[in-house]
Amino acid sequence: MAHSSMAASTAGASPRRPLAGAGTSRWGEKVIKTFLALCAAFSILVTTGIVISLVVPTVNFFGQIPLVEFLTGTTWAPAFANPSFGVLPIVVGTLIVVVTALAVAIPVGLASAIYLSEYASSRVRKVVKPALEVLEGIPTVAIGLFAFFFMRPLAERYLPFLPWDTPFSIGIAGVAVGLLIVPLVASVSEDAMRSVPAGLREGAYALGASKMRVSMRVIFPAAISGIIAAVVLGTSRAIGETMVVLIAAGAGNPNLTFNWFGSAQTMTAYIGGTATGDISQGTVVYDTIFAVGALLFTMTLTMNIIATRLVRRFREVYE
């Protein structure tokens, strides 16, 4: 405020600049604008860097291991004396984690979102929303420890008849990842529900609809694009989650397995676990990190593109 009033009061006293050609004295503005544009363009550089860093070693990798063998093989043992490079076991590991996590996060996250958006008083909302934010901020290492040292023993104690063969369980890791993405799913879908125009809510209530009906038949469908986005974002996080799986699911099994209760590796856990070991550059094992990373990147990117399309289609229908 102080600045602008000063400029106004001195304008009368100082000689005015000619209207035309004033641009020549705006070098500062141009430099600033260029700097800001570079900041924005930097993100393109990052993406390019990711793609190059993945593609070069991956091409190298597929020079030695046929693509078909990689994508269809059912034994994943790159570091064994007799190595095998079938990626399916760790893809299945990732799938188990994602499906389990979504089975936890979709009902829990959406229930929380609907409650917060349609039912909760402002007092309840004021307590619960920051609490969910705290949950979102808990480091994944902590959640991994919780899954491994608390959830897994607890599960064995109360469900002893299930086949808990090792201290590790990919399924328990999946449940923990589910807990981890609940706040994300809840907050994004709650935002979507709250941004549904109040008029729709009133219109439905005025027809004698109960709260449940308004929530499920009006608010939920109207917010569906945001809810789908929430679920897709959650899925993306679950695919990419590393530490929880690394801690709670163990080193895994080279063979393809769907055993929910046993140890298994995911794509991310393989990358993280291998990188901590002493692997020298230039070996095939080193390159597998990048090949698996490329697969991971492709999967999440494809999903994001599909999600963007889906959201856009719903928008077209409703607006």
Q: Is 36 in the site for another protein (CB under 8 A)?
A: yes
Selected range binding another protein among 45-53, 65-73, 85-93, 254-262, rule: CB under 8 A: 45-53
Extract the runs of DSSP E, i.e. beta strands, from 35-145: 76-77, 84-85
Using the contact rule CB under 8 A, the part of the chain among 69-77, 85-93, 214-222, 257-265 near another protein is: 214-222
CA 192/CA 34 separation, integer angstroms: 36
Q: Which residues contact 230 (CB under 8 A, 6 or more apart)?
A: 109, 113, 184, 185, 186, 187, 188, 189, 192
Residue 85 pairs in a beta bridge with: 76
Site string for another protein, 63-82 (x = CB under 8 A): --------------------
Q: Which residues lie below 8 Å from residue 154, measured CB to CB, with a gap of 6+?
A: none
Minimum Å distance from CB 311 to another protein?
11
Stretch that binds another protein, among 37-45, 78-86, 157-165, 254-262 (CB under 8 A): 37-45
Contact between 116 and another protein per CB under 8 A: yes
H or E stretch at 181: helix 170-194
What is the footprint of another protein within residues 268-287 (CB under 8 A)?
Answer: 268, 271-272, 275-276, 281
Which 292-311 residues touch another protein, going by CB under 8 A?
A: 293, 296-297, 300-301, 304, 308
Q: Which residue has the tokens 């491994």?
A: 148
Of 211, 305, 266, the residue nearest 99 (C-alpha): 266
Site mask for another protein (CB under 8 A), range 152-191, x = bound: ---------------------------x--xx--x-----
Decide if residue 13 touches another protein (CB under 8 A): no
Nearer to another protein, 70 or 220 (CB): 220
Spatial distance between the Cα atoms of 55 and 164, rounded to a whole number of angstroms: 40
Min dist. Cβ of residue 117 to another protein (A): 10
Cα–Cα nearest to 132, from 3, 262, 59, 230: 230
Q: Which is nearer to another protein, 63 or 221 (CB)?
A: 221
Beta carbons of 148 and 248 less than 8 angstroms apart = yes
Q: Does the protein bind another protein through residue 97 (CB under 8 A)?
A: no
In 10 A of CB 141, how many CB atoms?
13
The beta-strand segments (E) located in the chain are 76-77, 84-85
Contact 217, 209 (CB under 8 A): yes
Stretch that binds another protein, among 64-72, 75-83, 157-165, 212-220 (CB under 8 A): 212-220
* Binder among 204, 227, 249, 264 for another protein (CB under 8 A): 204
| Contacts to another protein from residues 184-203, by CB under 8 A | 186, 197, 199-203
- Judged by CB, which is closer to another protein: 103, or 258? 103
Q: Is residue 62 near another protein by the rule CB under 8 A?
A: no
For tokens 């492709």, what's the residue?
Answer: 298
CB of 213 vs another protein, minimal distance in Å = 6
Length of the chain: 319
Using an 8 Å Cβ cutoff, are 175 and 105 in contact?
no
29 binds another protein (CB under 8 A): yes
CB of 313 to another protein, least distance (A): 13
